[in-house]
């Protein structure tokens, strides 16, 4: 799964493609609102699914990242209906790990900061 991200590098915004899977959707203790936890294939993240000593999902060190669902856009999902997946990715699911197919499996776009 490829997640397209806009990231600020050297004072300008650049798009990067990062491979990963949505592993968590819900409320967190570190900030209000809903967050999406992404398990990355390469160590391009900031955590392992843990923030401030609280575990939200399992990932290797540097393979975890949290982003806001409002800035995720699923572009295409092979064999699945995109709109349902987008709704799943932007609706709180009670702070539990996302079940397979609830909020993963597509190409997403992200911009913003992550804890």
- pLDDT 10s digits, 45-79: 999 999 999 999 999 999 999 988 766 655 544 45
* CB-based contact 36:103 (threshold 8 Å): yes
Q: How far apart are CA 73 and CA 90, in angstroms?
A: 9
Which of 10-19, 55-64, 88-97, 102-111 has the highest mean predicted lDDT (pLDDT)? 55-64
What is the pLDDT of the chain when averaged over all its residues?
69
Out of 3.40.50.720, 1.10.10.10, 3.30.565.10, 2.30.30.190, which CATH number does the structure's domain 2-107 have?
Answer: 2.30.30.190
Structure token digits, residue 21: 């899977």
User: Which range, of 10-19, 21-30, 45-54, averages the lowest pLDDT?
Assistant: 10-19
Pairwise pLDDT comparison (65 vs 109), residue with the higher score? 65
Q: How far apart are CA 69 and CA 115, in angstroms?
A: 13
pLDDT of 96 reads 43
Least confident of 2-11, 71-80, 104-113: 104-113
From residue 48, alpha-carbon distances to 67, 85, 109 in Å are: 14, 24, 21
User: pTM score, two decimals?
Assistant: 0.61
How far CA 69 is from CA of 10, 52, 53, in Å, comes to 25, 20, 22
Other beta carbons less than 10 A from residue 32's beta carbon: 8
């Amino acid at each position: 799964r490829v997640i397209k991200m806009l990231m600020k590098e050297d004072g300008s915004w650049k798009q990067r493609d990062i491979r990963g899977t949505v592993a968590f959707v819900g409320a967190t203790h570190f900030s209000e609102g809903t967050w999406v936890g992404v398990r990355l294939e390469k160590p391009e993240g900031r955590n392992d699914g843990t923030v401030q000593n609280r575990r939200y999902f399992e990932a290797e060190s540097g393979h975890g990242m949290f982003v806001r669902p409002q800035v995720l856009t699923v572009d295409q999902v092979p064999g699945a209906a995109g709109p349902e997946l987008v709704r799943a990715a932007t609706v709180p699911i009670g702070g539990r790990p996302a079940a397979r197919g609830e909020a993963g499996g597509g190409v997403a776009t992200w911009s913003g900061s992550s804890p």
